[in-house]
Amino acid sequence: MQKDCFTYSFKGTGLERKQIITVIANEFIEDVEYQGAPTFAYRTTSGWTIDRDSVITSPELLLDYKDNLRKVLTALKTAGATAEGDGTVTLSLDGYNGNTLRNAINLIWCKQSLLKKSFDRRSDIVPESLVSAINAVPIETLEEFAEVVNNGIDQGTIVGDSNMDFDLADQTVSFSFMNATLEFEALAFITFCQKLSEQAKQQKFSSTKQKEAVNGKYAMRCFLLKLGFIGGQYAKERKCLLDRLDGNAAFRTIEAQQAAEAKRRAKSSNAPVEGSENA
């Protein structure tokens, strides 16, 4: 996989497989080819596929240009298709090493309660046993990371499913902790995975300490800003990722909010009235 690209996959329902792939092909004026055995998949000219289980997978798309995916999601929704299961974002492992891959898991672990609410997930995204295993020993390379994980699984010390996975053979890392959707949330999730990966690669160390957030919206907003969701260009993504959380995104505590409101009222009451001697 190319360094600055991603793929997105999810199960398409509501229409027959051939209908779904035809909708996608028509969006780009492309042909559809039936692949036959052993995949029994349909494939468009540019590489969109739908397999025998109705899992739709995009070709490699540029991270900084998600418009083609947006067009496909909109076209499928208009045609009456729906999405179910997990939405999976796959990125290149380029730039990762054993330590930074551990950073990515630790970042998710520390904010797991917030992320579960944000993405409406009931089960843990990464299991505690995985976090404990990869932080118990020094890890520098991807091969060392894989060895620790594989040994932990074989020995039964790592249990439970992880919604973050990696493939050394394909040199990819995958995130699948979003419920599949044809809405904008899919695009926001892709950007989140991109930003999380970038942050993990930059950090030399990552904590595993979890903190209970009193104000979920504020805590998540701070986390998003740390990841780089800064400015108007990410306003829609921030709103989407904060929607399911409780609290106030602008103030950490009720006291801080009340103090700001009192200050605003005081400033307003002291303002000169038009037509008065002080105006």
279 has pLDDT over 60: no
Beta-bridge partner residues of 33? 43
Does the structure show a pLDDT above 60 at 277? no
Q: What digits encode the pLDDT tens for the residues 260-276?
A: 666 777 777 666 655 55
pLDDT for 30: 97
Residue 137, pLDDT > 60, answer: yes
The Cα angle at residue 149 between residues 147 and 151, in degrees rounded to 5: 65
- Which residues make Cβ contacts (< 8 Å) with residue 225, sequence separation at least 6? none
Q: Report, as an integer, the average pLDDT of 87-112.
A: 98
Q: What average pLDDT does this structure show over 242-257?
A: 77
Report, as an integer, the average pLDDT of 158-171: 96
What would the two tokens of residue 136 be?
């118990």
pLDDT band with cut points at 50, 70 and 90 for residue 25? very high
Contacts of 152 (CB under 8 A, 6+ apart): 129, 130, 133, 158
Whole-number percent of the chain with pLDDT over 90:
87
Asked if residue 167 has pLDDT above 90, the reply is: yes
**At which residue do the structure tokens 């999976």 appear?**
88
| Side chain identity, residue 169 | A
pLDDT digits (tens, 9 = 90+) for 40-77: 999 999 999 999 999 999 999 999 999 999 999 999 99
Mean pLDDT of the chain: 93
Q: What confidence category does residue 257 fall into, taking pLDDT thresholds of 50, 70 and 90?
A: low
Is pLDDT above 60 for 278?
A: no
Domain boundaries, the chain: 7-80
- Tens-place pLDDT, residues 180-224: 999 999 999 999 999 999 999 999 999 999 988 889 999 999 999
* pLDDT beyond 60 at 125: yes
DSSP bridge pairs for 92:
172
Q: What is the pLDDT of residue 163?
A: 98
The reported pLDDT for the residue numbered 260 is 60
Among candidate residues 121, 134, 63, the one with its CA nearest the CA of residue 92: 63
User: Which letter does DSSP use for residue 94 in this model?
Assistant: T
Q: Report the pLDDT value the prediction gives residue 198, as an integer from 0 to 100.
A: 98
Model pLDDT, residue 103: 98
pTM equals 0.90
